[in-house]
Amino acid sequence: MSDLPHPADVLPHRPPFLFVDEVVALDPGVSGTGRWHLTGDEWFFAGHFPGRPTLPGVLMCEAIAQMGAIAVLADGRFAGKLPLFGGLDSARFRRQVGPGDTLELTVELGRMSARAGKGTGKAMLDGQVACECELMFVLVDA
């Protein structure tokens, strides 16, 4: 049995806006790796795009940010806080992602203070980068 948390035990997000299904590695306050298993039943596939369901790139960025939030919130220094997007830089979308795919989400946290932080992340599909971005976040009281 793993001592890794379930995403819903750390994040306030809930379906249909909880995009991390499992945490597979975690170094609190430093880094994290998780997975998002796309079934094809997700709400956005019906309209994006009919006949060619494609995961919206901004939702890959959100999934990366959620994995980052797990890494932040797993650090006891940030108990009672909520990380919110403060910015998104250098987002690049490299591969199309669709129903049945599993994304591996990795985040490395950078500079962090009591009020804000930065990180970099990737969403990988079959060992290839599907999305990469730099994250900035602010920490507010939960």
**Residue 5: which of 52, 74, 72, 95 has the closest Cα?**
74
**Residue 20: which of 32, 38, 31, 36 has the closest Cα?**
36
As beta bridge partners, residue 140 has: 82
**Residue 32: which of 90, 117, 109, 136 has the closest Cα?**
109
DSSP labels, 55-111: --HHHHHHHHHHHHHHHHHTSGGGTTEEEEEEEEEEEEE-S---TT-EEEEEEEEEE
List the structure tokens of 12.
């306030």
Give catalytic status of residue 48 as yes or no.
Answer: yes
Could you list the active site residues? Answer: 48
